[in-house]
Each structure stands twice: as structure tokens, then as C-alpha cells.
């Protein structure tokens, strides 16, 4: 990552501050980088960003798999695949020295695979057929995040991939998988679970008085059949609980180690950048390695030589001249003025973020003309993500200078 470029002039005054440029090309080409996690609010382009980074990595020789936890089909469509499932599928990238694979998390299938792998056939069948397990593995709060941790751990344990890119779910739940080990621990250590386990662990006679008293109360709330389903599920799963906790904790620690990077993705909108600030603060609090912020779908002007005010004035003069083509020229000037105003607004929002987080590296990506739906569109986005900071089609640097600070 580039260093903070704040400098002092010969007179000792503080020069304009610039956000560090995020060098994603170096990050994905570095063989020490093994995991990249893209997180951020919903609708900011995390899925496309993940796919573009995966394509760029394959084109520099990496063997990469992109894991999406977002159930939307955009990743498959942009990679030219009809669908994605719980197993990596190879993407045809002509001429690439590396390989690109993609997959979408199926939390129930992942849970089923864990049960099958860590149980006897008889015990696995008992668990898989349990009604409470079927509900838990499909829709229980927190299951998706825990299964994401499991799948990431499985992929990392394999020698097949030298880079894993994770596309997280939208909204603040994108970081809920960081809580998976603690949440699993709280679940396993909870009073209800311990009471439900008591008959199988200590013998029914020893636990019968407390368990029957507990079951009478909880049956009124949950219903007798559901309680019996839960009790049977917990008893069958008892021997697997330690493995759940250990694997989740191991994957959580993996996210802190060298070789893992988090990329926060945002749109140039107030709400999205507020969410980005939340993500940055949370990652910092957890000691997670942050690569930086991608501000996606920006609107850089074609030129900065003509201000919005001057463009509007020129549009009025041209329109009043009555010359041939005056209406078209005036319209073009007004479009430029609107684009300049939008770019100024977006830059102001980015500057506010950088003022609050001056050490967070930044990369801006221009909005595409339409939806990214094929490899060529992904290549264009990959070039914007990984190209030199100054090498932009409009000549506007991706990392912009902030106003000078006093002191």
C-alpha cells in the first residue's frame, strides 16, 4: 500500500493531504496474499468487484476461486455461467496463465456435508432427518455466517487454490461471520442447550427432575413436538459441538493472519459511506488487515479544465447566439456542468471519509455505461481497480487531493 503523502513545504506549512492509493494490482499479484474479503453495504457492487478482482488475479497467473454468499445471480451471469452452486466451477478465461473458479454458498448443503463428514452414517441420517435440523440448516439466524466460515476454512485447507476471494452478503450482516465463533460458543454454552443435553450426558435419572421441570415450561412456549425435535437434534449432534467451535475459531484466526486482506466497497452516497466507516472501524477493532476502500460507480468529468459555473454560463451564451448547432452545443455544456456538480459532490463525500480515516487507502472506480454482464465488462472494471492511480481515461486521478489542513 502506498504511504500517506502528507508533506510540509519549505516554509513549514502543511501541504494538501492525499489519501493513500490502494495498489490492488500488487495485492492480488503477491503470492503471499491468500484471502481477499470484499464487504460493504448492499447494492454497491461487491459481487462485481469480487469477480473483477478474481479475473485480474487469474490473468496474472493466480489459481483463484470466488466465493459469493449473495444469493443473487449476478456473479454467474458476468462470468458466462448459467448457474453457481456449492462446488467451484471453472470459468473459461482465454489466454489467462492462471485459473478462475466461482461458487455460491449453499448453507444447507454445507451443513449437510459437515454432518456427514463428522458423524457415523447412522448418526448422520438421524440428524439430517430431524425436523429441527432441517429448519436450522435452512433459515436459522446466524447459520449462513457460520457456514460461510466453514466453507472458507475448507477452501483454505485445500492446496488447489492459492487465492480465495469472498463476496459477502449485503448490509451490516456482511461482518456477522466475524462473530460466528463467539455466537456458536454462546449457543453451545447456553442454559437451554445444556439442559437439553443433560439426559444424554449424565443419564436421565440424574437429570430428570430439572429436565422435566424445564420441559414443562418450555413446552408451553415452543410446543411439545418442537421441544422433542430439538432435544433429539441436540443429543444426536452432541459429539460434533466441539468440532464446530474449533473450526470456526481457527477460521476466525486465519482472517487475522498475514495473507488475508479486507476490501471495503462503497458507492459515492452518504449512507453507503457511513456503512463503510462502520466496516472500517469494526475491522480495526477486531485487528483485521484492511487493504482499503473502493468507491465504486463514481462519475469523473471528461475534463476539469471547465468548471460547472463556466459551463453553465457558456451554455446560456451559445443558446442565445442562434448559430447552427447551438442547441446541441448548449446541451453538451449543460451535461458537462451537471457532471462536474455530481463529481464535486462525490469528491466532497470521499473527502469527508478520508478526513475521518486518513490512513485508509482509497481507489475510485467509474460507473459503467450499463450492467456488467460478461468477461469484457469485468476486464474494464478490473483495469479500473488495478490500473495506475494516474492512468485514467479522463485524466482525473483516482486518488484526489484533500483540502490543506492548518497546523
- For residue range 4-39, list pLDDT tens digits in order: 434 443 344 444 445 677 789 999 999 999 999 998
By mean pLDDT, which of 97-111, 157-171, 272-286, 304-318 is the weakest?
Answer: 304-318
pLDDT at residue 164 in the model: 97
The CA distance from 142 to 184, in Å, is 9
Instruction: Provide mean pLDDT across the span 310-336.
Output: 76
pLDDT at residue 312 in the model: 78
Both ends of the chain: CA-CA distance in Å?
26
Is residue 252 very low, low, confident or very high in pLDDT (cuts 50, 70, 90)? Answer: confident
- Res 63 pLDDT > 90: yes
Contact 161, 63 (CB under 8 A): yes
Sequence spans of domains, the chain: 24-299+367-386, 301-357
- Res 197 pLDDT > 60: no
Q: Is 333 exposed, middle or buried (0-12, 13-18, 19+ CB in 10 A)?
A: buried
Residue 11 carries which DSSP code? T
Residues 6+ apart with CB under 8 A from 173: 145
By mean pLDDT, which of 102-116, 239-253, 354-368 is the weakest?
Answer: 239-253
DSSP secondary structure string, 103-165? EE--HHHHHHHHHHHTS-HHHHHHHHT-HHHHHHHHH-TTHHHHHHHHHHHHHHHSSS-SEEE
pLDDT digits (tens, 9 = 90+) for 275-288: 899 999 989 988 89
pLDDT at residue 337 in the model: 82
Is residue 306 very low, low, confident or very high in pLDDT (cuts 50, 70, 90)? Answer: confident
pLDDT at residue 240 in the model: 64
The mean pLDDT of the chain is 77
Residue 86 carries which DSSP code? S
Beta strands 362-366; 290-298: pairing state: parallel
Contact 42, 72 (CB under 8 A): no
Strand partners of residue 298:
366
Written as nine digits, the cell of 382 is 478490473
Q: Is 125 exposed, middle or buried (0-12, 13-18, 19+ CB in 10 A)?
A: middle
pLDDT at residue 188 in the model: 58
Instruction: Return the CATH fold of 24-299+367-386.
Output: Rossmann fold (3.40.50)
- Res 299 pLDDT > 80: yes
What is the chain's Cα-based Rg? Answer: 26
Q: Which residue has the higher pLDDT, 137 or 365?
A: 365
The CA distance from 180 to 175, in Å, is 10
Amino acid at each position: 500500500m502506498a504511504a500517506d503523502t502528507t508533506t510540509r513545504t519549505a516554509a513549514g506549512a502543511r501541504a494538501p493531504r492525499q489519501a493513500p492509493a490502494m495498489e490492488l494490482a500488487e495485492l492480488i499479484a503477491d503470492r503471499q496474499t491468500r484471502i481477499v474479503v470484499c464487504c460493504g453495504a448492499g447494492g454497491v457492487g461487491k459481487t462485481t468487484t469480487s469477480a473483477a478482482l478474481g479475473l485480474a488475479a487469474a490473468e496474472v497467473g493466480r489459481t483463484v476461486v470466488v466465493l459469493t454468499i449473495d444469493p443473487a445471480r449476478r456473479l454467474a451471469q458476468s462470468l458466462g455461467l448459467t448457474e453457481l452452486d456449492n462446488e467451484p466451477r471453472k470459468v473459461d478465461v482465454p489466454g489467462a496463465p492462471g485459473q478462475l473458479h466461482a461458487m455460491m454458498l449453499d448453507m444447507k448443503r454445507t451443513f449437510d456435508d459437515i454432518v456427514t463428514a463428522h458423524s457415523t452414517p447412522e448418526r448422520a441420517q438421524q440428524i439430517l432427518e430431524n425436523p429441527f435440523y432441517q429448519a436450522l440448516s435452512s433459515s436459522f439466524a446466524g447459520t449462513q455466517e457460520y457456514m460461510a466460515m466453514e466453507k472458507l476454512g475448507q477452501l483454505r485447507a485445500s492446496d488447489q487454490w492459492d487465492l480465495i476471494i469472498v463476496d459477502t452478503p449485503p448490509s451490516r450482516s456482511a461482518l456477522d461471520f466475524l462473530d460466528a465463533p463467539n455466537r456458536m460458543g454462546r449457543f453451545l454454552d447456553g442454559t437451554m442447550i445444556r439442559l437439553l443435553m443433560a439426559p444424554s450426558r449424565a443419564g436421565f435419572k440424574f437429570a430428570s427432575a430439572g429436565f422435566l421441570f424445564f420441559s414443562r415450561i418450555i413446552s408451553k412456549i415452543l410446543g411439545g413436538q418442537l421441544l422433542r425435535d430439538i432435544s433429539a437434534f441436540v443429543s444426536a449432534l452432541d459429539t460434533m459441538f466441539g468440532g464446530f467451535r474449533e473450526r470456526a475459531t481457527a477460521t476466525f484466526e486465519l482472517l487475522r493472519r498475514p495473507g488475508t486482506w479486507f476490501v471495503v466497497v462503497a458507492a459515492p452516497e452518504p449512507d453507503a459511506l457511513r456503512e463503510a466507516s462502520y466496516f472500517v472501524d469494526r475491522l480495526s477493532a477486531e485487528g483485521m488487515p484492511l487493504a482499503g476502500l473502493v468507491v465504486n460507480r463514481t462519475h469523473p468529468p471528461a475534463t476539469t479544465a471547465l468548471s460547472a459555473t463556466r459551463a453553465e454560463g457558456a451554455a446560456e451564451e451559445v443558446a442565445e447566439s442562434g448559430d447552427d448547432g447551438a442547441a446541441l452545443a448548449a446541451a453538451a455544456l449543460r451535461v458537462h456542468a451537471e457532471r462536474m456538480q455530481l463529481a464535486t459532490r462525490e469528491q466532497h463525500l470521499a473527502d469527508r471519509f478520508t478526513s475521518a480515516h486518513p490512513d485508509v487507502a482509497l481507489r475510485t472506480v467509474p460507473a459503467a455505461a450499463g450492467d456488467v454482464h460478461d468477461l469484457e465488462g469485468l476486464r474494464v472494471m478490473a483495469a479500473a481497480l488495478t490500473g495506475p492511480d494516474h492512468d485514467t481515461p479522463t485524466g482525473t486521478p483516482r486518488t484526489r487531493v484533500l483540502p490543506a489542513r492548518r497546523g
